[in-house]
Amino acid sequence: MTPPLLSDRIASLPKAELHLHLEGSIQPATVCALTAHHATVTIEEEVRRRYAYRDFPEFIEAFKWVTSFLREPQDYALIATDLAEHLLTQRVVYTEVTVSIGVMLLRKQQPEANFEALLRATEPFEKRGLRFRWVFDAARQFGADAAMEVVESAKRCNSAAIVAFGIGGDELSVPTKEFRRVYDRAAQLGLHRLMHAGEVGGPEKIREAIELLGAERIGHGIAAINDPELMDLLAERKIPLEICPASNMKTGVLARQLQREKATIEDHPLPKFLRDGIPVVLSTDDPAMFHTTLNEEYANAARMGLQEEELARIAEMGFEYAFSPAGEGRGA
């Protein structure tokens, strides 16, 4: 258990959250409101049942289910407002939120209209000390052509609030090299480049993301623990890993990467990454779907044995490795 004094210190720190999926932030009560709006009856007990997973594929099925109720711009505005209110309770002052543009396109929606609704919903929160920036996300399993459409959608939206392009989804589906042209186009448009890698896949997926795609941050990346040379590369090039401990536990990927039947939070490689000089930022991934908060993730890091000064350094790195002008969004 985290010492009470340390918990107070964690809670008071101004924070940036950089690996956060908008659609994974939808609380059960909000899911019910969405379903009622679309003439479907869902009770919170059903949502909680679906928000429990034995492995990563089950999580993906739940993600597909909950996003099926996002059909109109006002739906996106609702969940963005809820997320903003939640982030304020965590002392988050800057966030880069990943939004699943690839799923919108698959469902024949208009990303530009949905994104405009997101901007309108989150703009008022700047006066309350919370700044939003956005990552346009493609699903790896949809392929390179679909990913390119996500990049072009970012161009059409033409907003400085869109800071990066990334790919999530099924890491073991399409070979990394097939996305090289997509990432070149994202860079041409001035977008930073992200990639989920080394969550389910091995360390080679991380290396490919860096060397083939020019990824500037790695989503998860816990497989690096199995490749000392890759860890040296990450430390030397100062490429951050976006670490999401509760997510890694609840999808079973931590145990998988450690080649164990079960793993505990104390087994997480976060402390080794940090102490070996690899930049790390701490995030919730899908906070509602993994039943966590950013403060709880800092408490998880403390359970791993990190000291107060190390936790404070992680909070500082959240701003240091953000895709924004230096100091933008930083709280006092």
User: Can you read off the two tokens belonging to residue 64?
Assistant: 């597909």
Q: Do residues 235 and 251 touch, judged by C-beta distance below 8 A?
A: no
Q: Which of 17, 96, 171, 199 is catalytic?
A: 199
Residue 45 falls in the annotated catalytic set: no
Please name the residues in contact with 221: beta carbons below 8 A apart, sequence gap of 6 or more: 197, 198, 199, 206, 234, 241, 242, 243
Inter-residue contact 163 to 135 (CB < 8 Å): yes
CA dihedral 280, 284, 286, 290 (to 10 degrees): 120
26 close to 38: Cβ distance less than 8 angstroms: no
CB 160 within 8 A of CB 192: no
List Cβ neighbours of 96 (8 Å cut-off, separation of 6 or more).
16, 17, 18, 20, 133, 134, 135, 163, 164, 322, 323, 324
Helices (H), the chain: 4-12, 28-37, 44-50, 56-67, 73-89, 101-106, 111-122, 144-157, 180-188, 203-213, 228-237, 245-250, 253-257, 270-275, 294-303, 308-320
Which residues are paired to 195 by β-bridges? 218
Task: Check: CB of residue 115 under 8 Å from CB of residue 134.
Answer: yes
Which residue do the tokens 């924070």 mark?
A: 15
Specify the 3-state DSSP secondary structure of 86. helix
Please calculate the CA angle 270-290-4 and round it to the nearest 5 degrees.
60
Measured torsion, CA atoms of residues 83, 86, 87, 89, in degrees rounded to the nearest 10:
170
Cβ 18 vs Cβ 320: under 8 Å: no
Q: How far apart are CA 228 and CA 250, in angstroms?
A: 26
Q: Active-site positions?
A: 199
